[in-house]
């Protein structure tokens, strides 16, 4: 029996939370990232209204401002986003079926054992959308098919607040008109390796067949063929574990004052420890990132003997790393600092952590 799999994707998640909490922002281009008039940085995410201007994630905030000077630019509240994510994930877990969270705003459900066919799957998708809307105050798009890869492609097909069902017999017709970059593993850079062979649409992959695809691209070609034929064997299973947490600060003007830079490192350390305390994570590795003018980047890490969550000890290690950098970097003698970042990785969750029940949110 084929599996029936959902991919649930929260629509423009960070921006949607801001619009939910400030209804006057509805219908406006909302950009999460930084204040372009005071800071440098990149776009974290943006509303669909902002995307009409060509704005997208990872775009420099200065570029976004040129494209949309009248947009609403916000720093974002990541604690608030994490809280909303937890509410949604608890809703999905409540269905007592195979569940896999893959990011703060995406998850899979294998609903094979609670839905007998795709008609029931559609009804369940409508129900999930409504519960999320009422409970978390935001919308989601749901893709449904027999594999994780097709379900994920489908969830992006009809955004926002869409439901797209792709039954196995319809997979080829559904995928054929799409650009090959819709396939997981083919990105904006790697697509050119396919373009030179005239492979632009997924229909072109069906046309050339498995043998030639494998000859041209080896194991990657076989993987792509399996995806578009609905043969992705990956199962839905809960394995989401946050690997790291970090924050960065991009200065509006490059800094040469070490005291001011250290002050920002202290602040980042404090803010991250608030998150770690709330989510009950300990870390094994501390990393300091320094980017100089000219985009010259230095990183230095320290792995501890035992996992910890100690703001004072972390601050001591970060100061030591920064002193090493300032004492030993010849680049710093010539350049000022553009960005600092602090990251804690190799996370372990406290054994004493207690999962919040969905009933506490309703």
Residue 97 near residue 114 (C-beta atoms within 8 A)? yes
* Partners of 140 in the β-ladder: 10
- Residue 274 shares a structural domain with residue 336: yes
pLDDT digits (tens, 9 = 90+) for 222-254: 999 999 999 998 999 866 566 788 888 888 788
Q: Based on the structure, what is the number of domains in the chain?
A: 3
* CA-based nearest residue to 129, from 141, 115, 145: 141
Helix-helix angle 311-328:258-279, to 10 degrees: 150
Q: What is the pLDDT of residue 332?
A: 58
Task: Give the span between the Cα atoms of 113 and 21, in whole angstroms.
Answer: 37
- Residue 257 shares a structural domain with residue 273: yes
Q: What is the pLDDT of residue 1?
A: 61
Active site residues: 106
Domain final position from 76, 97, 125: 76
Whether 196 is in a domain gets the answer yes
User: How far is CA 141 from its chain centroid?
Assistant: 15
- Residue 325 shares a structural domain with residue 253: yes
Whether 356 is in a domain gets the answer no
Is residue 306 classed as helix, strand or coil in its secondary structure?
strand
Q: What is the pLDDT of residue 330?
A: 59
Domain final position from 238, 263, 291: 238
3-state SS of 55-106 is: CCCCCEHHHHHHHCCCCEEECCCHHHHHHHHHHHHHHHHCCCCEEEEEECCE
**Could you tell me the CATH number of the domain that includes residue 221?**
1.10.150.20
Q: What is the pLDDT of residue 40?
A: 83
Spans of the chain, pLDDT less than 50: 352-362
Domain final position from 186, 220, 238: 238
Task: Give the span between the Cα atoms of 77 and 13, in whole angstroms.
Answer: 12
**Residue 56 CA neighbour count, 13 Å, CB half:** 1
- Residue 230 shares a structural domain with residue 251: no
Q: What is the pLDDT of residue 254?
A: 86
Report which DSSP code applies to 179.
B
- Residue 338 shares a structural domain with residue 253: yes
- Residue 276 shares a structural domain with residue 191: no
Contacts 24+ apart (CB under 8 A), 109-118: 109/5, 109/6, 109/8, 109/236, 110/3, 110/4, 110/5, 110/6, 110/235, 110/236, 111/4, 111/5, 111/6, 112/1, 112/2, 112/3, 112/4, 112/5, 115/4, 117/4, 118/4, 118/144, 118/165, 118/167
Domain that holds residue 193: 176-238
User: How far is CA 264 from its chain centroid?
Assistant: 25
- Residue 257 shares a structural domain with residue 333: yes
Whether 113 is in a domain gets the answer no
Q: What is the pLDDT of residue 333?
A: 59
- Residue 205 shares a structural domain with residue 232: yes
Q: What is the pLDDT of residue 96?
A: 86
- Residue 264 shares a structural domain with residue 326: yes
Does pTM top 0.75 for this prediction?
no
């Amino acid at each position: 029996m084929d599996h029936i799999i959902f991919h649930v994707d929260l629509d423009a998640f960070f921006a949607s939370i801001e619009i939910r909490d400030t209804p006057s922002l509805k219908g406006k281009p909302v950009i999460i990232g930084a204040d372009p008039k005071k800071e440098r940085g990149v776009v974290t995410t943006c509303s669909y209204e902002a995307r009409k201007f060509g704005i997208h994630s990872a775009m420099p905030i200065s570029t976004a401002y040129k494209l949309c000077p009248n947009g609403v630019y916000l720093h974002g509240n990541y604690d608030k986003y994490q809280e909303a994510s937890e509410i949604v994930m608890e809703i999905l877990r409540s269905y007592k079926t195979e569940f896999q969270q893959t990011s703060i705003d995406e998850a899979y459900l294998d609903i094979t054992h609670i839905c007998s066919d795709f008609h029931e799957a559609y009804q369940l998708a409508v129900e999930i959308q409504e519960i999320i809307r009422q409970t978390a105050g935001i919308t989601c798009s749901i893709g449904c098919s027999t594999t994780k890869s097709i379900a994920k492609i489908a969830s992006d097909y009809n955004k926002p607040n869409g439901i797209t069902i792709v039954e196995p017999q319809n997979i080829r017709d559904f995928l054929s008109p799409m650009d090959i970059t819709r396939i997981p593993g083919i990105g904006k850079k790697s697509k050119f390796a396919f373009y030179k062979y005239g492979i632009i649409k997924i229909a072109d992959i069906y046309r050339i067949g498995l043998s030639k695809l494998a000859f041209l691209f080896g194991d990657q070609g076989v993987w792509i063929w399996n995806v578009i034929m609905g043969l992705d064997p990956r199962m839905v299973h809960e394995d989401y574990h946050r690997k790291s947490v970090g924050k960065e600060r991009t200065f509006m003007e490059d800094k040469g004052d070490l005291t001011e830079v250290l002050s920002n490192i202290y602040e980042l350390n404090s803010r991250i420890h608030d998150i770690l305390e709330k989510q009950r994570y300990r870390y094994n590795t501390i990393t300091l990132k320094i980017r100089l003018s000219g985009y010259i980047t230095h990183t230095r890490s320290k792995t501890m003997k035992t996992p910890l969550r100690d703001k004072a000890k972390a601050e001591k290690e970060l100061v030591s790393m920064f002193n090493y950098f300032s004492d030993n970097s010849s680049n710093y003698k010539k350049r000022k600092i553009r960005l600092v970042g602090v990251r804690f990785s190799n996370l372990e969750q406290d054994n004493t952590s207690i999962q919040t029940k969905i009933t506490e949110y309703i």
